[in-house]
Amino acid sequence: MADSSTEEGPVIGKTDEAAVDVENNTTNTMVEEGMRLLNKMEISVAEAEKRMGKNTVSMAETHTVYLIETRPVEVAAECQNTPPDCLWRRYSEFELLRNYLLVTYPFVVVPPLPEKRAEFMWHKLSSDNMDPDFVERRRVGLENFLLRVASHPVLSNDKILYSFLKQENGWKEMVLETGFQAKIDSRLKTLNATFRVKNPDKRFSDLKHYSDDLQSVTSRLLRVRARVADRLYGVYKVHGNYGRVFSEWSAIEKEMGDGLQSAGHHMDAYASSIDDILEEEEHYADQLKEYMFYAEALRAVCRKHELLQYELETAAQDLASRKQQHEEPATGTVRTFSFKEMTTKLFGLETAEQREAKLKVLEEQIAEGEELVKEKTTECNEFVKNAWEDIEHFREQKDRDLKEALISYAVMQISVCRKGIQVWSNAKECFNKM
Amino acid sequence: MSGIIADPTDSCTPAQEIPADLSGQMLELDEDDDLEVFSKDTTLTDGSFFNASMPTSPASMINQYKFEEEADDKDIFITVDNPESHVTAIETFITYRVLTKTTRSEFDSCEYEVRRRYQDFLWLKGRLEEAHPTLIVHPLPEKFVVKGMVERFNDDFIETRRKALHKFLNRVADHPILSCSEDFKVFLTAQAWELTSHKKQGPGFLSRMGETVRAVAATVRGVKNRPEEFTAIQEYVDTFSQKITSLDKVTQRILKEQKEYLDELKEYGPVYTLWSGSEEELVEPLKGVASCIERCCREKEEQISHLSETLVPSLHEYVLCAETLKSVLRRRDNIQADYEAKNDMLANKKTDREVLKEEIDKLEDKVECANNALKVDWARWQKNMSGDIRGAFLSTAEKNIDYYEKCLAVWESFLLSQRSEHSVEGTREQQTAKDACPQDT
What are the pLDDT digits (tens) for A304-325? 999 999 989 988 888 888 888 7
Tell me how close the Cα of A420 comes to any Cα of chain B, in angstroms. 6
pLDDT for A114: 92
Contacts with A248 from chain B: Cβ below 8 Å = 239, 243
Nearest-neighbour CA in chain A from B329: distance (Å): 18
Reply yes or no on whether the pLDDT at B335 is more than 80: yes
Residue A137 pLDDT > 70: yes
The whole-number pLDDT of residue B76 equals: 87
Residues of A in contact with B235 (CB under 8 A): 252
Instruction: Give me the amino acid identity at A411.
Output: V
| pLDDT tens digits for range B40-74 | 333 333 433 333 444 444 444 443 444 444 456 77
With cut-offs at 50, 70 and 90, classify the pLDDT of residue A301. very high
Q: For residue range B259-312, list pLDDT tens digits in order.
A: 999 999 999 999 999 999 999 999 999 999 999 999 999 999 999 999 999 999
What average pLDDT does the structure give for chain B? 78
Confirm or reject contact between A367 and chain B (CB < 8 A). no
Say whether A413 and B407 touch across the interface (CB within 8 A).
Answer: yes
Contact A413 B411 (CB under 8 A): yes
Quick check: B247 and A249 CB within 8 A? Answer: yes
Instruction: State the pLDDT confidence band at A400, using cuts at 50, 70 and 90.
Output: very high
The pLDDT of residue A59 is 74
Which residues are registered as beta bridge partners of B93? B86
| Inter-chain residue contact A410 with B415, CB threshold 8 Å | yes
Task: Quote the pTM value.
Answer: 0.78
The residues in A 198-257 lying below 8 A from B, measured between CB atoms, are 210, 213-214, 217-218, 220-221, 224-225, 227-228, 230-232, 234-235, 238-239, 241-242, 245, 248-249, 251-253, 255-256
Predicted pLDDT of residue A126:
60
What average pLDDT does this structure show over B81-88? 87
The region of weakest confidence among A68-72, A344-348, B34-38 is B34-38
pLDDT at A184: 82
Measured between CB atoms, does A415 come within 8 Å of chain B? Answer: no
Helix or strand holding residue B116 (H, E): strand B111-117
CB distance B243–A417 less than 8 Å? Answer: no
Starting from the edge strand earliest in sequence, which strands make up the sheet with B111-117, in order? Answer: B76-87, B92-102, B111-117
How close B243 comes to chain A (CA, Å)? 6
Q: What does the pLDDT look like over A167-179, one tens digit per residue?
A: 888 888 888 888 8
Cα B64 to chain centroid, rounded:
18
What is the C-alpha separation between B81 and B165, in angstroms, rounded? 9
Residue B95 pLDDT exceeds 60: yes
Closest Cα in chain B to A251: B239
Query: For residues B440 and A34, what is the distance between their CA atoms, to the nearest angstrom?
Result: 28
Question: What is the least distance, in Å, from the CA of A370 to any CA of chain B?
Answer: 41
Look at residue B4 and tell me whether its pLDDT is greater than 70: no
Beta bridge partners of B77: B101
Residue A361 has pLDDT above 60, yes or no: yes
User: Which positions in chain A touch B286 (Cβ < 8 Å)?
Assistant: 406
pLDDT of residue A132: 79
Q: Which of residues 278-337 of A touch B (CB under 8 A)?
A: none
**pLDDT tens-digit map of B101-142:** 988 888 888 899 999 999 899 999 999 988 888 899 999 988
pLDDT(B203) > 70:
no
**DSSP letters spanning A201-228:** -HHHHHHHHHHHHHHHHHHHHHHHHHHH
* Predicted confidence (pLDDT) at residue A206 exceeds the cutoff of 60: yes
B139: left (phi over 0), alpha (psi -120 to 50) or beta: beta
pLDDT score at A127: 63
CB atoms within 10 A of CB B410: 21
In angstroms, the CA A249 to CA B246 distance is: 10
A420: nearest CA partner in chain B: B404
Q: Angle at CA A122, nearest 5°, toward A120 and A127?
A: 65
Interface touch A263/B236, C-beta < 8 Å: no
Distance from CA of B400 to the nearest CA of A (A): 7
Q: Which amino acid is at A116?
A: K
Q: What is the pLDDT of residue A3?
A: 42
Residues of B in contact with A214 (CB under 8 A): 278
Q: Which residues contact A276 (CB under 8 A, 6 or more apart)?
A: none
The answer to whether residue A402 scores a pLDDT higher than 50 is yes
pLDDT of residue A329: 62
Give ipTM to 2 decimals: 0.83
Could A235 and B257 be called an inter-chain contact, meaning their C-beta atoms sit closer than 8 Å? yes
Give me the residue from A402, A417, A431 closest to B404, CB to CB.
A417
Highest mean pLDDT, choosing among A181-190, A364-373, B3-12, B405-414: B405-414
Q: What is the residue-averaged pLDDT of chain A?
A: 83
Nearest CA in chain A to B263: A228
Q: What is the DSSP string of B57-86?
A: -HHHHHHTT-HHHHHHT--EEEEEEEEEEE
Least confident of A250-254, A283-287, A358-362: A358-362
Interface probe for A, chosen from B234, B275, B297 (most Cβ of A below 10 Å), is B275
- Residues on chain B touching A239 (C-beta within 8 angstroms): 254
User: With 0-12 CB in 10 A as exposed, 13-18 as middle and 19+ as buried, what is B33?
Assistant: exposed
Strand order in A85-90's β-sheet?
Answer: A41-54, A60-72, A85-90
Could you tell me which of A205, A204, A211 has the C-alpha nearest to residue A297? Answer: A211
pLDDT number for residue A44:
78
Query: Strand (E) positions, B245-287?
Result: none
CB contact under 8 A, A263 and B393: yes
Write the pLDDT tens digit of every residue in A76-109: 666 667 777 888 898 999 999 999 999 999 999 9
User: Does A409 touch chain B if contact means CB atoms closer than 8 Å?
Assistant: yes
Find the range with the poorest average confidence among A266-280, B7-21, B262-276, B297-311.
B7-21
> Parallel, antiparallel, or unpaired: how do β-strands B76-87 and A60-72 relate?
unpaired
d(CA A401, CA A147): 14
Kind plus residue range of the DSSP H or E element containing B106? none
Average pLDDT over residues B232-254: 95
Contact list in B for residue A256 (CB cut-off 8 A) is 386, 389-390
Could B394 and A431 be called an inter-chain contact, meaning their C-beta atoms sit closer than 8 Å?
yes
Instruction: Please report the pLDDT score of residue A133 as a whole number.
Output: 80
A284 CA to centre of own chain: 16
Residue B343 pLDDT greater than 90, yes or no: no
Q: Does the structure show a pLDDT above 90 at A200?
A: no
Percent of chain A topping pLDDT 90: 43
